[in-house]
């Protein structure tokens, strides 16, 4: 029996444990930068195993090293474990016990499959070579993100390459998807405060209406994508908050708007930032008011290294995983992902695992009814296991 077959057999025989772990995590979600119990749960899981365990990486992250004791490369596999500020509406028997907090993005599944895969690797440790580093990362959902701090704390020291995977309800169960190059958008956010001059609704000539100015600003910002970017560039500017509430007969003195920016290249991201700031300055000049713009760029574009992506494709094709029915190029994905920080530091690949059975209703990520078909955990564990073995050149 090959090493791959032993790994697959272990995953199959421990499927129920993997599902139980996912359900435990789903019942006990914690928000980004507050995942104390989850970090403790993971630390207790690894503490008696034949691994090198480092906790508190990036405050709550874990670096788990499986060292074969034989020469070889060092590969890192990453899974995130934070949840979202969403009130769950799935009705599942293992629904969140924490009001207003929910695993609505699949990070519970990521963590559960990597825990089981770790045990599978340990079961054949004497047949491994090199090192496998498991990165359990907090705070993917909330800027500045957990990856950046873990990197600053040395989680990638000694690591040659990194692989990550994300379950996707937008893809059917049995699908493994990939994309070369720029794969997920960068992200930025801005907060703009417009300060005009308040006044009485009956005497607008004596005031400088911040609502009117802010409305002009919103329209101008929406024109960045349609009129400042090439049709061949991908960019999004979203105004998500317009705080202009006041009394019906009072002209507002101050209005605050907040927005979100996505782009598929760093050049496009820079173009949008430049235009947001210039528009704010221009409208402030035209309307004789003050406009403060706080613009913050966080997650960069997620870039999948072509060589590492080809390795993923080759590994899954050769592994002949029974549960994998499709291996596809899914094209660029609109959301942002802080795995991008790992990919900036080391040639990496981030790929996707279909999580919705054909014919079933698929709720999008971050939806109160989001759920995954738990058979996708087997696909994720086997796919990532196959990638790691192929990377380490183990038959």
Could you tell me which residues are beta bridge partners of residue 202? none
Q: How far apart are CA 135 and CA 384, in angstroms?
A: 13
| CA neighbours closer than 13 Å in the CB half-sphere of residue 379 | 28
- Nearest CA to 168 out of 341, 350, 303, 16 is that of 350
Q: Which of 140, 141, 273, 371 is catalytic?
A: 140
- DSSP class per residue in 142-189: STT-HHHHHHHTTTTTT--EEEEEEEEEEEETTEEEE-SEEEE-EEEE
| CA neighbours closer than 13 Å in the CB half-sphere of residue 99 | 0
Cβ neighbours of 141 (radius 10 Å): 21
Q: Catalytic residue at 292?
A: no
Q: Which of 30, 35, 80, 82 is catalytic?
A: 82
Query: Going by C-beta distance under 8 Å and a sequence separation of 6 or more, which residues neighbour residue 286?
Result: none
Q: How far apart are CA 393 and CA 128, in angstroms?
A: 9
Q: At what angle do helices 107-123 and 36-46 cross, to 10 degrees?
A: 10
Could you tell me which residues are beta bridge partners of residue 208? 197
Q: How far apart are CA 54 and CA 47, in angstroms?
A: 10
Query: Going by C-beta distance under 8 Å and a sequence separation of 6 or more, which residues neighbour residue 252?
Result: 196, 198, 209, 210, 211, 244, 246
Q: Catalytic residue at 298?
A: no
Are the C-beta atoms of residues 366 and 141 closer than 8 Å to each other? no
Q: Which residues are catalytic?
A: 82, 140
């Amino acid at each position: 029996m090959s090493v791959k077959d032993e790994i697959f057999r272990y995953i199959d025989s421990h499927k129920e444990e993997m599902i139980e772990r996912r359900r435990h995590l789903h019942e006990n979600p914690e928000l980004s930068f507050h995942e104390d119990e989850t970090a403790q749960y993971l630390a207790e899981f690894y503490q008696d195993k034949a691994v090198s365990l480092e906790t508190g990486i990036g405050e709550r992250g874990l670096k788990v090293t499986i060292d074969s004791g034989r020469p070889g490369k060092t590969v890192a596999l990453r899974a995130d474990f934070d949840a979202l500020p969403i009130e769950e509406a799935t009705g599942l028997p293992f629904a969140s016990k924490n009001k207003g907090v929910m695993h609505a993005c699949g990070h519970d599944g990521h963590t559960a499959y990597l825990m089981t895969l770790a045990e599978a690797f340990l079961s054949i440790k004497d047949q491994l070579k090199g090192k496998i580093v498991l990165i359990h990362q907090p705070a993917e959902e909330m800027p500045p993100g957990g990856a950046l701090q873990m990197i600053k704390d040395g989680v990638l020291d000694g690591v040659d390459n990194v692989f990550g995977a994300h379950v996707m309800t937008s893809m059917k169960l049995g699908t493994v998807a990939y994309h070369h190059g720029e794969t997920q958008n960068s992200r930025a956010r801005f907060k703009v405060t417009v300060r005009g001059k308040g006044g009485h609704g009956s005497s607008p000539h004596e005031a400088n209406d911040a609502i009117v100015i802010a409305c002009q600003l919103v329209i101008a910002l929406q024109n960045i994508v349609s009129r400042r970017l090439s049709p061949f560039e991908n960019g999004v500017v979203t105004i998500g908050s317009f705080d202009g509430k006041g009394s019906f007969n009072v002209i507002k003195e101050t209005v605050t708007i907040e927005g979100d920016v996505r782009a598929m290249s760093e050049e496009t991201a820079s173009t949008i930032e430049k235009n947001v700031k210039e528009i704010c300055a221009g409208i402030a000049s035209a309307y004789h008011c003050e406009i403060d713009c706080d613009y913050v760029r966080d997650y960069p574009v997620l870039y999948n290294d072509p060589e590492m992506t080809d390795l993923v494709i080759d590994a899954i094709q050769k592994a002949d995983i029974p549960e994998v029915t499709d291996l596809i190029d899914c094209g660029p994905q609109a959301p942002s992902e802080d795995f991008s920080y790992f990919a900036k530091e080391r040639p990496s690949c981030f790929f996707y695992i279909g999580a919705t059975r054909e014919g079933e209703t698929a709720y999008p990520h971050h939806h109160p009814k989001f759920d995954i078909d738990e058979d996708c955990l087997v696909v994720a564990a086997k796919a990532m296991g196959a990638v790691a073995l192929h990377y380490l050149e183990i038959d």
